[in-house]
Chains A and B, each alone.
Chain A
Amino acid sequence: MVSRTTDDYEKLALAGCAAICEPAFWAGFDRSSPQGFYDYYRQLTDYEPKRAAKFGIPHFCWLCINPKEAEDAGFAREVMAILPEFLAKPTVLGIGEIGLNKNTRNELAIFEEHVQIALDHDLPVLIHTPHLEDKLKGTRLILDALASFSQLDRGKVIIDHVEEHTAGLVLDQGYWAGMTLYPESKCTPNRAIDILELFGTERLWLNSACDWGVSDPLAVVKCGLEMRKRKYSAEHIEHVLFENPKAFLSQSRNFKL
């Protein structure tokens, strides 16, 4: 929500949003110093919860250095050294969104180091998969890397931005899968509903892209409308759009509604 206006909080409140879970991500440009991340983490853990609270919405966040800024591994490690101070904050859910962007060796190394931080602190993990032509390869690399963490509870890991060609790969290995909805360019509400029809509703959730690009914080709500048009019951919609994310997020000690 750091990229959104306060009007979006109002819209979310009017739509009945029960909680906001914001991942640490790219600012639209590379930050020039670890201190820039320090301030970003302050924004995520201090300012945004207060901004959301004015509209009666609990605000939670995930922390990490996102994969777009992980190519400089030395820089990334300086940023990761800041993380423990903020992981103790009361609205932090876990580590995320870590993952890959261009599927490089450095991105992969920083991804694995983030997973180890999550294990060390017993935290859930939110994983970003690359976009467009890089998604399939990146998802496979992420799954291969995760397989080497024998202590990892796969039920506490959600691999996000799945589409038709990656949802099965993720679910078959016991992880949660997230579908991120966009107004253009990537997964639409109707395709997300198709994926639910193909793969079932177990360990799947939907979220709204809500960043610096063309995106819509109400995308999940609009998907609920599409589900109603496709004659899904209110109970089924509630299960997918609310109960599933609640079940996953409740594994975080800080998540409370």
Chain B
Amino acid sequence: MLTKQELLDLQFIGARASLIDLAAFLDRVERHEGPDDYRFEALKKALPILLSNQPGRAKAALEALSDETHEPIERATFQGAFGAPHRFDF
């Protein structure tokens, strides 16, 4: 396995690009007109997870963007998924 230094040498530029891409996406959405959207709010709500000093950030981010209910639903009204559950109040 790589050392921490080697991993940073290999992937830091890519991670930096991903961070700036996300920042630009947040700016882009807010710059455009339209109603609030649960997906955008869910994404912003998950961002503090990245600042944690604990491992498991990817798992926690996935959980934050997951449907946490337990019972099967009665019927499907559509087939796709949108990336965030309809449960955010804003």
Residues on A lying within 8 angstroms of B by beta carbon are: 68, 71, 101-108, 130-137, 140-141, 163-165, 190-191, 194, 197, 229-232
Contacts of B58 in A (CB 8 A): 163-164, 191, 194
State the CA gap A132–B79 with chains docked (Å): 12
Binding site secondary structure of chain B: loop
Given the interface pairs A163-B62, A230-B2, the reply to whether A133 lies near B72 with Cβ below 8 Å is no
* Closest-CB distance, B46 to chain A (whole angstroms): 12
Decide if B13 is an interface residue (CB 8 Å cutoff). no
Q: How many residues of B contact A (CB 8 A)?
A: 29
Contacts of B70 in A (CB 8 A): 137, 140
Contacts of A104 in B (CB 8 A): 72-76
Supply 16 A–B pairs (Cβ within 8 Å), ascending by A. A102-B73, A104-B72, A104-B73, A104-B74, A106-B75, A132-B83, A133-B65, A133-B85, A134-B81, A136-B62, A137-B66, A137-B68, A164-B59, A165-B59, A191-B58, A232-B1
Contacts of B50 in A (CB 8 A): none
Given the interface pairs A190-B11, A231-B2, the reply to whether A136 lies near B73 with Cβ below 8 Å is no
Interface string of B64-90 (1 = CB under 8 A from A): 011111101111101101111100000
Contacts of A130 in B (CB 8 A): 81
Decide if B29 is an interface residue (CB 8 Å cutoff). no
Contacts of A106 in B (CB 8 A): 75
* Closest-CB distance, A68 to chain B (whole angstroms): 5
Decide if B22 is an interface residue (CB 8 Å cutoff). no
B81 x A105 contact (CB < 8 A): no
State the CA gap A102–B77 with chains docked (Å): 9
Residue of A nearest to B15 (CB): A190
B72 x A141 contact (CB < 8 A): yes
Partner of A231, one of B1, B59, B81, B85: B1
Residue of A nearest to B76 (CB): A102
Residues on B lying within 8 angstroms of A by beta carbon are: 1-2, 6-7, 10-11, 56, 58-59, 62-63, 65-70, 72-76, 78-79, 81-85
State the CA gap A190–B73 with chains docked (Å): 34
B76 x A133 contact (CB < 8 A): no
A102 x B79 contact (CB < 8 A): yes
Contacts of B56 in A (CB 8 A): 164
B1 x A101 contact (CB < 8 A): no
B66 x A165 contact (CB < 8 A): yes
Given the interface pairs A101-B79, A132-B83, the reply to whether A164 lies near B1 with Cβ below 8 Å is no
A105-B74, A229-B10, A230-B10 known; 15 new pairs, CB 8 Å cut-off, are A102-B73, A102-B79, A103-B67, A104-B73, A105-B72, A133-B65, A133-B67, A133-B85, A135-B66, A136-B66, A136-B68, A137-B67, A140-B70, A165-B63, A194-B58
Pick the 5 closest A-B CB pairs, nearest first.
A102-B76, A132-B81, A136-B66, A165-B62, A164-B59
State the CA gap A105–B71 with chains docked (Å): 9
A230 x B1 contact (CB < 8 A): yes
Interface centre among A102, A141, A197, A230 (most CB of B within 10 A): A102
State the CA gap A135–B84 with chains docked (Å): 11
Contacts of B6 in A (CB 8 A): 231
